[in-house]
Amino acid sequence: MKRVVLAVAGSLLAFAAFAQSSVGHIVGDAKKGDVVEIYSPDVGVKRTTTMEEDGRYTFRRLPLGSYEVTVKHADGTEEQTKFVTLRVGQTAKVQ
């Protein structure tokens, strides 16, 4: 009986460790033709996406840390850079 309890407890601990992922996600809104760029000098990650239609962008499975988010519009203008920090298992929304 003691072995069964230990096995179940071990399984639950392994599941809890897996559930606390060391990655996060960034989401925000942009318009068709906008280019959204994220950059983290801390972890050396840079990703870019071009919006094909109005809506929400999502950058998934990013290493934890601080990110700069820049939106460049199709007309050549650029929004002010915004900053987000990703923590364990978090989805950060760019405001």
Nearest to 71 by CA among 19, 27, 41: 27
Which pair of tokens denotes residue 87? 């923590």
Per-residue pLDDT at 9 exceeds 60: no
Give the pLDDT score at 18: 45
Higher pLDDT, 85 or 16: 85
Average model confidence (pLDDT) for the chain?
85
The tens digit of pLDDT for each residue in 48-80 reads: 999 999 999 999 999 999 999 999 999 999 999
Per-residue pLDDT at 2 exceeds 70: no
* 81 SS3 class: coil
Contact assessment for residue 24 and residue 43, using Cβ atoms and an 8 Å cutoff? no
Q: Could you give the domains of the chain?
A: 22-93 (2.60.40.10)
Q: How crowded is residue 2: how many other Cβ atoms within 10 Å of its Cβ?
A: 6
